Amino acid sequence: EADIYQTPRYLVIGTGKKITLECSQTMGHDKMYWYQQDPGMELHLIHYSYGVNSTEKGDLSSESTVSRIRTEHFPLTLESARPSHTSQYLCASRGTGRNTEAFFGQGTRLTVV
Amino acid sequence: GQQVMQIPQYQHVQEGEDFTTYCNSSTTLSNIQWYKQRPGGHPVFLIQLVKSGEVKKQKRLTFQFGEAKKNSSLHITATQTTDVGTYFCAGANSKLTFGKGITLSVRP
């Protein structure tokens, strides 16, 4: 069982609200990722991090921001939620070295009304 | 970055039939990973291929890395309903970007 956790699992929020999606892992992984995925669709990389104080934008333009102050924590923040942000957000982490499989959290299903 | 492509996006098979899907890249990949995502679930790592021409098997699943390290295949022998889901490949550089995935449905 992977030790990576996302909260909340489900969130319904009004337009214009600020929200933070939490992601934590206890595996000591340096690399962490955020993906946006609509049901049955592809995984869009929106942010990633190689370690503490390192954050990069992914391939999909996103109005969200991330921070990486601690190795185990990689929160995603939406300053002003819009209905177009309705989606599933998946967090993943990977270690370094030969075994570089990614472990995914259970996801946060966000609905903006 | 290393972009991988998966076509088609959907495939329907009769239970018991074999299934093969491909992952292609325009550039040489250092390695490739395959993941499976069950409906309503999150992606789960299946395998990583590193060497040119490498073949790995997991029960009824066979994974192959092309000789030029620009493509990979996943073959499922005698599909079962438990094989239903979306299979993603990823060029496993630091950025970890995924192909669009192929969603497999199996008719019992």
- Residue B42: what pLDDT? 96
State what percent of residues in chain A have pLDDT above 70.
96
Reported as a pLDDT band with limits 50, 70 and 90, residue A99 is: low
CA A45, B35, A107, A113 torsion: positive or negative? positive
DSSP-derived 3-state class of residue B81: helix
Half-sphere exposure of A100 (CA within 13 A, CB side): 20
Per-residue three-class SS string for B4-48: EECCCCEEEEECCCCEEEEEEECCCCCCEEEEEECCCCCCEEEEE
Cα separation values, B97 from B4, B93, B100, Å? 8, 8, 10
pLDDT tens-digit readout, A2-52: 699 999 999 999 999 999 999 999 999 999 999 999 988 999 999 999 999
Q: What is the structure's pLDDT at B2? A: 56
pLDDT at B1 over 60: no
Dihedral over Cα of B29, B4, B41, B73: its sign: negative
DSSP 3-state assignment of A68?
coil
Name the CA dihedral angle for A46, A49, A53, A54, rounded to a multiple of 10 degrees. Answer: -90
What confidence score (pLDDT) does residue A98 get? 61
pLDDT in tens, A100-109: 899 999 999 9
Q: Has residue A57 got a pLDDT over 90?
A: yes
| Banded pLDDT at B97 (limits 50, 70, 90) | confident
A contact residues 60-89, partner B, Cβ 8 Å cutoff? none
pLDDT digits (tens, 9 = 90+) for B14-35: 999 999 999 999 889 989 999 9
State how far the Cα of B48 lies from the Cα of A56, in Å rounded to an integer: 25
Taking CA atoms, B91 is separated from A76, A96, B84, in Å, by 24, 15, 23
- CA A13 to chain B, closest CA, distance in angstroms equals 21
pLDDT for residue A7? 97
Q: Which of A31, A32, A101 to mutate to test the interface with B (most CBs of B within 10 A)?
A: A101
Q: What is the mean pLDDT of residues B77-84?
A: 97
pLDDT digits (tens, 9 = 90+) for A1-10: 669 999 999 9
- What would the mean pLDDT of A59-80 be, rounded to a whole number? 93
Residue to mutate among B89, B97, B105, with most A CBs inside 10 A, is: B97
Which pLDDT belongs to residue B7? Answer: 82
Give the pLDDT confidence score for residue A60 in this predicted structure: 80
